[in-house]
Structure 1
Amino acid sequence: MPKVDASTRKRVTADWAGAFEGFDVWKPLRLARRIGPVVQGITLDVNTVGDAYFPTAHIHCLSRDFPVVSLGLAQRLQTSSGVQESIRFSRHEADFPGAVRVLAEQSTLSLFQPPTIEQIVNACHSFAFNWQNMGFPPAVDVVEDSVLIAATVERGDLVEAGLKLARELAGVWQKARLPLDWVSAEVWLEGLTARVSDHDSLSRVVSGQVLKHKLQKVRELPIDSGAAQ
């Protein structure tokens, strides 16, 4: 089956945007909203054949210089048995209402009420911890993102919690599975601590990333840090 045309992609994107009115259309098949230094997105990730898409909830940290808006903490729509589920473009009208409901139920972070920074950071911590327990490669970037996000909004308590988790995980990560440029846990932790101590630099990175990825048209929601009042 040939890949779907631009008009179909536009129509499918509009349907999902109508279902999640808290998000804006960023690109075809991609919805997004900004929560401070975080992009929360819903991506309709097209399969290799091009005849179906995987609804995927995710986040992206703007506090690091990165060439694309990534699918961090990606959660694809799943069946009740835990199998990733795609929606055929030919069956979109029939299947997408149910997919909307299930994706919203399965997403760790709310797709309706904007999550707080604390909820986002805690989701990163849980992901990194669970990833390690399941035997997957170290979630170095996720741990870094949790700390960078917290530092950007000046949540010192969450920064310390993230650095504590970083120290714990760095002590059990297998070196053979770490990034090729990894020198040592000490060097990594020192570098991460230095980055989060420079708030002005983090803010400049966020501003630069917004421009680079053309996110100006995406709504920026008020930041709820989640801190106790």
Structure 2
Amino acid sequence: MPKYVPEVKGNLRSHIIEVPSIIREASGIKVFGKRLKSFIFTTDVAIIRNNNADAVIAVYPFTPQPIITQVLVESADVPIFCGVGGGTTTGKRVVNLALDAEFKGAMGVVVNSPTSNEIIRLMRDTIDIPIIVTVVSEYEDVKARIDAGVNILNVSAAKRTPYIVRKIREQFPEFPIIATGGPNEESIAETIAAGANAITYTPPTSGQVMSNLMNKYRAIYKSESEE
């Protein structure tokens, strides 16, 4: 029988983005003693301050900048895992950005799929926080990633995500895996059943949330005018 969980909300902060409840079915990953099941995928400071996810995974499609890392870490009231490159940004700069992120308070760093194992080894020798590498294809050499010093795999392969998670899990039964959950509870459940320990959730944008809110306000005025 599921346990009853009391919930406390405020009048103003009850309007938040909530991750799908099915994510609670995941086992979670313990990082520095904190059990993390849901990761919200965003760099929007307003969303970072108004959601119920266990952690933030902040990766963006530009060259990582220390000032952005600082703002993201200072904005979050939950653990944050910051992107430090590996795609457009390469080489020793990735290592330096990772060290800077650790100094600024990030709980972990995320590198993109093209990151070489040599750079991962340099990062492992330099920082003491987890290194997450993104996996986008079943043809990637996961064992080489693990041997290089990666702590967590982040599988992001669209519709093939559950398949890749299952394939990795068969070879590495206990290695930590985060994975994208897809568009609905059914796809999230499939990803968890495949072996993902935690799920990344992409929230609606602030613009979409604002649009929904404005539609609600317009509906109120319309109903009042028709009375």
Give the TM interval when normalised to the shorter protein. under 0.3
TM-score by length of 2: 0.26
Higher RCO (CA 8 Å, separation ≥ 6 residues): 1
TM-score by length of 1: 0.26
The structure with the greater share of residues assigned to helix is 1
